[in-house]
Amino acid sequence: MRRLGASRVFEYTSATAVADIASAVAGESVAGIFAVGTGSAEKAVAIAAATGTKRVMMASPPVSFESIPRRPGLSVKFLRVMARLVASNAVLQARCARHGIRARFVWGSTLMNNEVGPMLWERFLPGALAEGRYLALPEPQVVGSGLEQLQPALDLLRAGVSARKLVVTL
């Protein structure tokens, strides 16, 4: 991360991550916090509350969808996950309201339907990569080759990875 220009790096799984980050930016103006990854919104809101930040952007839902069966129709597991999603969102929004924080979801799919997607993927990124102004990091970690390696790669991803890009070659 330092190679990308980060002046400070924190381990998100640390029990003191929220306090460490809040302490590191104490006295500085923080425009907003961007939460990426299931469960990151709660920590982002805690950091916002501790620093007086008023905006949190969330790119991931507060609960995991991995236990939902991959078949059409309703199931008990689907209903439980949706109930947890609604409940956790309600609790999160109540916590935000208590601290005057505005938390909103960012939907990446909107890039398909507006001018930002082509500007980013067609006009900016190819040239920036070619000129070295943008780095495709972290370096890939090849898990294996072939479709049979997809499950081991997903298992590794679910076990938790930090600052790594997992790749299965075909």
Q: Parse the chain into domains and list their residue ranges.
A: 2-106, 138-170
Asked if 89 contacts 62 with a C-beta cutoff of 8 angstroms, the reply is yes
pTM to 2 decimal places: 0.71
pLDDT at position 39, please? 82
The pLDDT assigned to 6 comes to 81
Which residues of the chain fall below pLDDT 70? none
Give the integer Cα–Cα distance in Å for 50 and 46: 6
pLDDT for position 37:
83
